[in-house]
Amino acid sequence: MQTWSHAFPEAVEAARPFIVHLQAASPERETFSSGSGVILDNFHVLAAAQVVGAEDDVTLLTATGKRLTARPLAVDPVYLLTVLRLDSRLDLGPASIVPAEALRAGQPVLSAGCPLGMDLAVSQGVVSMVDLTVYRQDRVPVDGLIVTDAALHPGNAGGPLISAAGEIVGINTAPWVPGFSLAVQGEVAARVANQIIEFGSATHPWLGFSGQPEIIDRELSQLFALPADRGLVVSHVVPGGPGEKAGLQVFDMVVRIGAKPVSTVGLMRKLLSLHRPGDKVRVTVLRAGNLLETSFPVEEIPILSGS
């Protein structure tokens, strides 16, 4: 078996072509900042919003020493990620991003970035939590966060969290509590970026109800051939919200979004976020021993939509 002393440097080298050093200047605010970014494809780069703002002038330096300019497309207000479009094409294939379901607590990871240009800063740790949801002071939920004890060096925000195989697990965001840092799951960051590229903004769905995970009765699970042994039990429905519009009632158990099993409000939001506001998504619920289907409207969180 390959030792970590060889595996980790090789993992960093595999990811290195996708890591860039960013410099952002704001003529209006007369500020200058620098940090790291991740190349998504030939024309797009992900960066942290604390480094690159929506109106900044941006230059970046690649692993090969190539200097490029880029323009911000948008800053996502929930994940605080800035999507950049390069002014010239990069001859580099798409980044290899690990699906969230492949992440495991205890998995070794490397936090990497280029805070000083060509110099690479790397720290080692493990995944402490795979899929954390935190709530901002305005109660906006932020789903799909990875908690790791890999130190986040100054300037590494926006750089990648890397697996031992050299794949991108997440995008480094910020320190969390002493000894731990947060990263956005790679597939969540890619989804946000792709929606910004295609539509100009990402989807942040509002459920309009609260609920808790609960084990599904084995007989019902077998009777309906359900794909999981847990569901999301509705405890409160907000009048006029998407949950009420979908016909959900207290004590309903949501078991599927489309064909995907669901057991937490965070997972339900993540599945709905794959759609656009105005879409309706098929939701399957257990109610009093009966399996029912309803259409759940995708609506943006009111505080984000301005409503």
Q: Report pLDDT for 1.
A: 44
Q: What is the mean pLDDT of residues 14-18?
A: 93
- At residue 168, φ and ψ (nearest 5 deg) are -85, 120
Q: Report pLDDT for 226.
A: 79
Nearest one of 69, 48, 66, 47 to 58, comparing CA atoms: 69
Percentage of residues of the chain with pLDDT beyond 90: 70
Structure letter (DSSP) for residue 216 = P
Q: Tens digits of per-residue pLDDT, 262-279? A: 999 999 999 999 999 999
- What stretch of H or E contains 81? strand 81-86
Around Cβ 12, how many Cβ atoms within 10 Å?
17
Q: Report pLDDT for 3.
A: 61
Percentage of residues of the chain with pLDDT beyond 70: 97
Helices (runs of H) and strands (runs of E) counted in the chain: 6, 18
Q: Report pLDDT for 29.
A: 64
Q: Tens digits of per-residue pLDDT, 33-90? A: 889 999 999 999 999 998 999 899 999 999 988 999 999 999 999 999 999 999 999 8
- Beta-strand ranges (E) seen in the chain are 19-26, 31-39, 44-48, 57-61, 67-75, 81-86, 108-116, 119-135, 141-148, 160-163, 168-175, 181-185, 209-215, 230-237, 253-257, 260-261, 280-287, 290-297
Give this prediction's pTM.
0.92
Give the model's confidence band at 32: pLDDT under 50 very low, under 70 low, under 90 confident, else very high.
confident
Cβ atoms 128, 105 nearer than 8 A: yes
Q: Report pLDDT for 39.
A: 95
Distance, C-alpha 23 to centroid of its chain: 23
Q: Report pLDDT for 224.
A: 78
Q: Report pLDDT for 153.
A: 81
Q: Tens digits of per-residue pLDDT, 139-168? A: 999 999 999 999 888 788 999 999 999 999
Q: What is the mean pLDDT of the chain?
A: 91
Around Cβ 102, how many Cβ atoms within 10 Å?
13
